[in-house]
């Protein structure tokens, strides 16, 4: 059933039927009702390819997905996707993933735009002065950044969590417990979220007259193995930390393993606070010692991004507004007062 057939059986023109269905004003209410009715009864659905050719709108949102032998999409992505799906599901919004290599990202974005494959995209894991954001801004494709960049001379729509405050507060709590040597096991600092976290921790320490020297920082891809290595090298050092801030639950697994391997205990010897993105399959309260965490659901962020993306597509949202969510600090058994 296509427009032609439908309009024919209603003895109306395609124009009118189209307008009626799309809510244009120049159709009488009665006609609109008749049309809507017939459309429903015959299960008419406009052909998206045709609509797309005519309007240039795709009805989909996009994500340019870096892949490659050395690139691991991390498990956070799937949580984000769940959230996105939660919203998109109810709105018949589909998501287009365009795989790309890291070097070809720009090409891929250009292709996606030139092909009008999607009406909007979201950008994840932004870096400082992220070129993707510059590009999208200049190409004029609606987009939302999950996270934030830094050092860009224009505003852009984004949603982020307050990583700086989260790690500031976590560090402050450790300081209040009397810790002096606090270490940070961070994600890759080429990404802004890690930069913000380091900044937050550092500010808290400075406020107490302490510092966060490079030798008490590790910055690595967030795997269990890297968590282990980082904790190991920190704790075997000459002045081992009495408390560790860790950027991910997965890394925390390795941190806990390292601490145990060294015959140390949590929180007796080492206090530990980790950031929790809320995975359904790994919960901080189920660690051998329940973990104190800074918590923010990445899934909720995905849902919000989808919602705002939809709003931008329909021009209900237009300003380059940023949204920064506070992060919970959830205290559990993994922290204690410093010994000395």
Tell me the β-bridge partners of 63.
97
Q: Which is nearer to DNA, 39 or 144 (CB)?
A: 39
| Beta carbon nearer to a second copy, 181 or 304 | 304
Q: Does 313 bind DNA (CB under 7 A)?
A: no
Piece in contact with a second copy (CB under 8 A), picked from 122-130, 146-154, 201-209, 282-290: 282-290
Enumerate residues 189-248 that contact a second copy by CB under 8 A. Answer: 222-225, 228
- Considering only residues 23 through 52, tell me which ones interact with a second copy, judged by CB under 8 A: 45, 47-50, 52
What token pair was written down for 168?
């500031």
The pair of structure tokens assigned to 140 is: 């004029």
Least distance to a second copy, CB of residue 332, Å: 15
d(CA 155, CA 321): 7
- Work out the angle between the directed axes of helices 163-176 and 192-207 (0-180°, nearest 10): 30
Query: Does residue number 13 form part of the binding site for DNA (CB under 7 A)?
Result: yes
Tell me the CA end-to-end span of the chain in Å, nearest whole number. Answer: 79
Residue 315 backbone zone (phi > 0: left; psi -120 to 50: alpha; other: beta) = left
For residue 29, the number of C-alpha atoms closer than 13 Å in the C-beta half-sphere is 0
Give the distance between the most distant pair of CA atoms in the chain.
88
Select from 27, 133, 251, 253 the one that contacts DNA (CB under 7 A). 27
Does residue 282 touch a second copy according to CB under 8 A?
yes
Per CB under 7 A, 112 contacts DNA:
no
Binding of residue 51 to DNA (CB under 7 A): yes
18 binds DNA (CB under 7 A): yes
Q: Which stretch, 25-33, 185-193, 277-285, 316-324, contacts a second copy (CB under 8 A)?
A: 277-285
Q: Under a CB-based contact definition with an 8 Å cutoff, are residues 87 and 303 in contact?
A: yes
User: Which is nearer to DNA, 1 or 97 (by Cβ)?
Assistant: 1
Nearer to a second copy, 166 or 256 (CB): 256
User: Which one of a second copy, DNA, none interacts with residue 65, CB within 5 to 8 A by kind?
Assistant: a second copy
Helices (H), 42-130: 48-55, 75-89, 105-114
Name the residue nearer to a second copy (CB basis): 176 or 265: 265
Could you say whether residue 288 binds a second copy (CB under 8 A)? yes
> Rounded to an integer, what distance in angstroms lies between the CA atom of residue 108 and that of residue 74?
21
Is 55 an interacting residue with respect to DNA (CB under 7 A)? Answer: yes
- Write the interaction track for a second copy spanning residues 136-155; mark x where CB under 8 A is met and - where it is not: --------------------
The residues with which 294 forms a beta bridge, in sequence order, are 275, 329
Chosen from DNA, a second copy, none, partner binding at 282 (C-beta under 5 to 8 Å by type): a second copy
Give the burial class of 51: count Cβ atoms within 10 A of its Cβ; 0-12 exposed, 13-18 middle, 19 or more buried: middle
Out of a second copy, DNA, none, what residue 16 binds, judged by CB under 5 to 8 A for its kind, is DNA
Which residues touch 163 (CB under 8 Å, ≥6 apart)? 193, 196, 197, 200, 327
Torsion of CA 277, 278, 284, 285, to 10 degrees: 150
Residues interacting with a second copy, by CB under 8 A? 45, 47-50, 52-53, 56, 58, 60, 65, 67-69, 71-75, 77-79, 81-82, 84-86, 88-89, 92-101, 111, 114-117, 222-225, 228, 250, 253-254, 257, 260-261, 279-283, 286, 288
């Amino acid at each position: 059933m296509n427009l032609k057939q439908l309009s024919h059986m209603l003895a109306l023109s395609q124009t009118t039927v189209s307008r009626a269905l799309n809510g244009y004003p120049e159709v009488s209410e009665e006609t609109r009702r008749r049309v809507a009715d017939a459309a429903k009864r015959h299960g008419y659905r406009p052909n998206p390819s045709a609509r797309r050719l005519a309007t240039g709108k795709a009805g989909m949102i996009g994500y340019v997905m870096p892949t490659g032998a050395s690139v691991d999409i991390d498990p956070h992505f799937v949580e984000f996707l769940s959230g996105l799906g939660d919203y998109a599901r109810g709105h018949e919004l589909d998501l287009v993933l365009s795989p790309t290599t890291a070097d070809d990202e720009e090409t891929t974005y250009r292709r996606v735009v030139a092909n009008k494959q999607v009406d909007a995209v979201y950008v994840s894991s932004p870096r400082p002065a992220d070129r993707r954001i510059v590009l999208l801004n200049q190409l004029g494709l609606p987009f939302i950044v999950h996270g934030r960049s830094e050092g860009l001379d224009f505003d852009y729509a984004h949603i982020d969590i307050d990583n700086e405050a989260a790690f500031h507060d976590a560090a402050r709590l450790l300081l209040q417990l009397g810790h002096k040597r606090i270490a940070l096991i961070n994600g890759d600092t080429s990404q802004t979220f890690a930069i913000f976290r380091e900044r937050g921790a550092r500010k808290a320490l400075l406020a107490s007259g302490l510092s966060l020297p490079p030798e008490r920082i590790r910055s690595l891809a967030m795997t269990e193995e890297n968590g282990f290595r980082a904790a190991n090298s920190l704790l075997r050092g000459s002045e081992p930390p009495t408390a560790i801030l860790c950027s991910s639950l997965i890394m925390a697994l390795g941190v806990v393993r390292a601490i145990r391997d060294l015959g140390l205990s949590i929180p007796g010897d080492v206090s530990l606070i980790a950031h929790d993105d809320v995975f359904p399959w790994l919960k901080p309260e189920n660690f051998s010692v329940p973990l104190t965490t800074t918590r923010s659901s990445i899934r909720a962020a995905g849902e919000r991004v989808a919602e705002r993306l939809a709003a931008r597509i329909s021009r209900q949202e237009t300003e380059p507004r940023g949204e920064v969510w506070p992060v919970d600090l959830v205290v559990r058994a993994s922290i204690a007062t410093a010994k000395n």
